[in-house]
Amino acid sequence: MSKDKLSRISVSIPEALLAGLDRMVDERGFESRSQAICDMISLQLNQHKAQQGSDVMTGTVNLVYNHATPGLHKKLHDLQYQFIDEVISSLNINLTHTNTLSVILVQGPADKLNMIADKMITLKGVLYGQLLLNSYIIPPIHPLPEKHSDSP
């Protein structure tokens, strides 16, 4: 496996910020400041990419919802079916007698995934929702057949 070519840069930061960085490096177990800074830059670049548009990304829509809310389960199911090309899988876990945690694996253009998540998160009965995206994509499992105009 080839390594990326490294570039050396110089950064000036306040001493208090440097002390905080050194504490984090120790507490999290990074090998060096450079590794920690690369991790932080990667996280920020990923978040920027997730907000910018049409790059294909993978992520999860995490929801906690009241499954006693009339029609909510069907609406969530219908949205997953409506966006079947983007919704890969889902896992539901009953947390309490009324609350369910749903983790929905998604992949597709970032702007579309944000739209899908917004449609789910804003449904009445959803108590908490968050879309988490990353720039890595999963290999295709099996492509869906092309849609023909004569099929229902």
Fold held by 56-134: Alpha-Beta Plaits (3.30.70)
Q: Check residue 152 and report its DSSP letter.
A: -
> What pLDDT sits at residue 6?
85
Identify the residue with better confidence: 113 or 147.
113
- Report field, pTM of the whole predicted structure over 0.75: no
> What pLDDT sits at residue 142?
64
Q: Check residue 77 and report its DSSP letter.
A: H
- Over residues 83-109, the pLDDT tens digits come to 999 999 999 999 999 999 999 999 999
Identify the residue with better confidence: 110 or 143.
110
For residue 53, count CB atoms less than 10 angstroms from its CB and return exposed for 0-12, middle for 13-18, buried for 19 or more.
exposed
Quick check: 38 and 45 in contact, CB under 8 A?
Answer: no
Identify the residue with better confidence: 144 or 65.
65
- Over residues 7-56, the pLDDT tens digits come to 888 889 889 989 999 999 999 999 999 999 988 888 888 777 766 677 88
Query: Sorting pLDDT into bands at 50, 70 and 90, what band is 65?
Result: very high
Mean pLDDT throughout 57-86?
96
> What pLDDT sits at residue 30?
92
Quick check: 52 and 135 in contact, CB under 8 A?
Answer: no
> What pLDDT sits at residue 1?
43
Q: Where are the beta strands (DSSP E) in 19-143?
A: 56-66, 87-94, 99-109, 126-134
